[in-house]
Structure 1
Amino acid sequence: MSPLPRRVLRALERFHAARPWDHNAHFHRWTLRQLPGRVGSALDVGCGTGDLARLLALRAQRVHGIDADPGITARARELTPAAAPVTYTAADAPAGLGERSYDVITCVAAVHHLPFTEALSAFREHLAPGGTLVIVGLARARTPVDHLLGIVSIPLNVVLALLKSRGRPVPRPVSMTAPTRPADLSFTEIAREARAVLPGVRLRRRLLWRYTLVWRRP
């Protein structure tokens, strides 16, 4: 499928530079809908500034967020009320998951930075029986379906940017200082690996250049 003309891409870049918004936060409420009503403990891997961790605290008795970027976890602590049952650690996943098990593990737009199969195995081992794993991830576009979803996402992205900014330029969100990288696995490769590690897992391609994965440990 042919790419968009360069001048169109430049126009889109200028538009979104003036009206940035958090694509990942768009999936936070969806993430909550995948969870039981109340849980004891939750872990958010790649927690960033803690937006999802604070939402998880509405459903969990205690929440722990980890992120590889010490600066971003420090900012997460600043933004989190002292009374909230949320803690943060600057640590690399999956090695930094520790030994505790959790009723819920979430990972939004971070798993493509990790060794994928190793990360899924670690998430599985740290889930308590009956626990829920929810991943919102990025995949490398390789198939016609991938490219079609990407093209459809462009006008949706523009509409959401206008709605969230109410048509006005807005400040750029706080970003990570740690190095980032694009996804290198296709959705087909992700699905194959996930099904081998997490029998019964549910995966779905999504708009806005994301896919979702939900698994409940027996």
Structure 2
Amino acid sequence: MTAVLPRLLRALDRFHATHPWDHNAHYHRWILRRLPGRFTGALDVGSGSGDLARLLATRAEAVHGIDIDPTIVERARERTAPGAPVTFSVGDALEDVPSGLYDVITCVATVHHLPLGEALTHFRRLLAPGGTLIVVGLYRPRSLSDHLIDAVALPSNIAMAWIKNKGRRAPRPVAMTAPTRPATTAFPDIVRDARHVLPGARLRRRLFWRYTLVWKRGPSPAE
């Protein structure tokens, strides 16, 4: 299976080039379902062109998105309606986040670009008591179960591409994101490091080469 899978992935890349859809945006509604109906402030790390930040703004009093790519941040600003409670800035997620505490922190397809333990520790400091941290990340397949999930994802990915592009003469545009690199950390190592920093964090492997992490901070600032 491990020998065949790279060839299948290359074929999938060719298919995806002509039938693109956003694997990260697929999880945006999933994220919303795990958040309160209303909250005060939210931070979206690696905000790209701002789709998730604008979605969070339907529930939040204020949302801030940060991304290291200035071109994408400018695109996010252009696509945000005047008066919307959303701001964007260019910067390093570990150094340039505006000070303050956030009720919600989201990080989609970004944390594998950062030192995991350091990033999660930083997010924990920024999370208000009672707040929720949600990460959708990438991991490096290593175990048999990883490769089985990848195998299941192949037909699911093709089906989703057909559904999302059905009836379109031109491919559906995919939201702009900063250039990405492959994940280098296997899922068990991510689980170990995450739970060391965030005791009780819930992590799960998902389809489309992603995993999710959900952590709710206790009501005390010390938790």
Q: TM-score range by the shorter chain?
A: over 0.9
Distance (whole Å) between structure 2 residues aligned to residue 37 and residue 5 of structure 1: 41
User: What is the SS of the residue equivalent to 2:148?
Assistant: helix
TM-score (norm 1): 0.94
Cα shift at 1:95:
1.2
Say whether 1:20 aligns with 2:20: yes
With over 3 angstroms needed to count, the CA separation of the structure-2 counterparts of 1:189 and 1:102, relative to structure 1, is: same
Cα shift at 1:5:
6.8
Cα shift at 1:161:
0.3
With over 3 angstroms needed to count, the CA separation of the structure-2 counterparts of 1:201 and 1:10, relative to structure 1, is: closer
With over 3 angstroms needed to count, the CA separation of the structure-2 counterparts of 1:6 and 1:127, relative to structure 1, is: closer
Say whether 1:170 aligns with 2:171: yes
- Contact residue 57 and residue 85 of structure 2 kept, 8 A: yes
Cα shift at 1:37:
1.2
Say whether 1:61 aligns with 2:61: yes
User: What is the SS of the residue equivalent to 2:48?
Assistant: coil
Return 200-209 or 159-168, whichever deviates more: 159-168
Distance (whole Å) between structure 1 residues aligned to residue 109 and residue 210 of structure 2: 8
Q: Which residue in the other structure is 2:98 paired with?
A: 98
With over 3 angstroms needed to count, the CA separation of the structure-2 counterparts of 1:172 and 1:38, relative to structure 1, is: closer
- Contact residue 139 and residue 209 of structure 2 kept, 8 A: yes
TM-score (norm 2): 0.92
Return 118-127 or 14-23, whichever deviates more: 14-23
Amino acid at match of 2:106: T
Say whether 1:83 aligns with 2:95: no
User: What is the SS of the residue equivalent to 2:99?
Assistant: coil
Matches within 5 A, 1:30-179: 30-166=30-166, 168=168, 169-176=170-177, 178-179=178-179
Cα shift at 1:76:
0.3
Aligned residues: 217
Cα shift at 1:4:
2.6
With over 3 angstroms needed to count, the CA separation of the structure-2 counterparts of 1:141 and 1:62, relative to structure 1, is: same
Distance (whole Å) between structure 2 residues aligned to residue 38 and residue 66 of structure 1: 21
Distance (whole Å) between structure 2 residues aligned to residue 20 and residue 193 of structure 1: 33
Output one character per residue of 1:97-143: Cα deviation in whole Å (capped at 9) or x when no partner. Answer: 23211000000010001111000000000000000000000001000
Q: Which runs of 4+ in 1 moved over 2 A?
A: 1-14, 171-176
Output one character per residue of 1:173-206: Cα deviation in whole Å (capped at 9) or x when no partner. Answer: 2434x54211111110000001000011111111
